[in-house]
């Protein structure tokens, strides 16, 4: 995030679901506070401590909000970011990216219309995580040839791509 704690992006504030397991919990307070300070409506989907929990519960809660249209985006974190991204990608209409750096997050938004961001709580400091979130929220989906591919992803979710090829 920019030096003043405000997310620099051109859209109006979003509703963002936040789902963190125990390994992602150290990032949670900083991320949620910064998102709220930037004017976003953040829905806390847990967890509430660093005590060991099962990441699928919190990832599904947050990603379901995106899937059901109750949130614009979600930010998830577990130890590696992999588990929560796998869970999120099981839900209809969710396109989650496990971003390791701002470029991963930006390109996932621009080319894949990613709507859920997964972070590695054991590998990222709060500054690194915030830079990735900035890139994720700032980038716009480019559409064009990328829209065709996102549409194909939706067909796969519905079991229809095989039939169309």
Task: List, by residue number, the catalytic residues.
Answer: 78, 111
Helix (H) or strand (E) segment spanning residue 18: strand 15-20
SS3 4: coil
What secondary structure, in 3-state letters, does 68-119 show?
CCCCCEEEEEECCCHHHHHHHCCCCCCCEEECCCHHHHHHHHHHHCCCEEEE
Residues 155, 50: Cα–Cα separation, whole Å: 39
């Amino acid at each position: 995030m920019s030096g003043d704690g405000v997310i620099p992006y051109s859209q109006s504030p979003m509703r963002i679901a936040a789902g963190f397991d125990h390994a992602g919990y150290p990032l949670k307070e900083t991320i949620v506070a910064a998102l709220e300070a930037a004017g976003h409506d953040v829905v806390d989907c847990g967890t509430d401590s660093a005590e060991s929990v099962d990441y699928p519960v919190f990832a599904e809660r947050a990603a379901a909000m995106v899937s059901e249209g109750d949130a614009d985006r979600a930010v998830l974190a577990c130890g590696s970011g992999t588990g929560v991204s796998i869970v999120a990608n099981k839900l209809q209409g969710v396109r989650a990216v496990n971003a390791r750096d701002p470029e991963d997050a930006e390109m996932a938004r621009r080319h894949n219309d990613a709507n859920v961001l997964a972070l590695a709580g054991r590998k990222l400091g709060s500054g690194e995580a915030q830079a990735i979130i900035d890139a994720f929220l700032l980038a716009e989906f480019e559409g064009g040839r990328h829209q065709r591919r996102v549409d194909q992803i939706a067909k796969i979710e519905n079991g229809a791509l095989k039939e169309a090829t």
